Amino acid sequence: MKNSALKGALGALAVVGVALIAKKAIQRKRFIKGIFDEYGIKEKSPFGLADKIREMNDEDYQELKGKFKKEFHSRCCKKDNTFEA
């Protein structure tokens, strides 16, 4: 009996982990889709984004870069609620 309860608890934990990973992936996909819509990028690929970045002026590029840093920064090495890129 002990073994089956342990397996059940580990299985439930695994399901929760997969759900959290899927939720984060969906959030990031929405963010990327929003970037493509905001900047009018029709080709939904990294190459379309790269082409748009080449066309941007420095101010627009820094704004886009800041958005990506804010969305994709790592939380593992956080100091005083700031992050490094």
Regarding predicted confidence, which is higher, 40 or 75?
Answer: 40
- pTM score > 0.85 for this model? no
pLDDT digits (tens, 9 = 90+) for 33-73: 888 888 888 888 888 888 888 888 989 889 988 888 888 87
Other Cβ atoms closer than 10 A to 52: 19
For residue 1, give Cα distances in angstroms to 10, 11, 14, 15, 74: 14, 15, 20, 21, 41
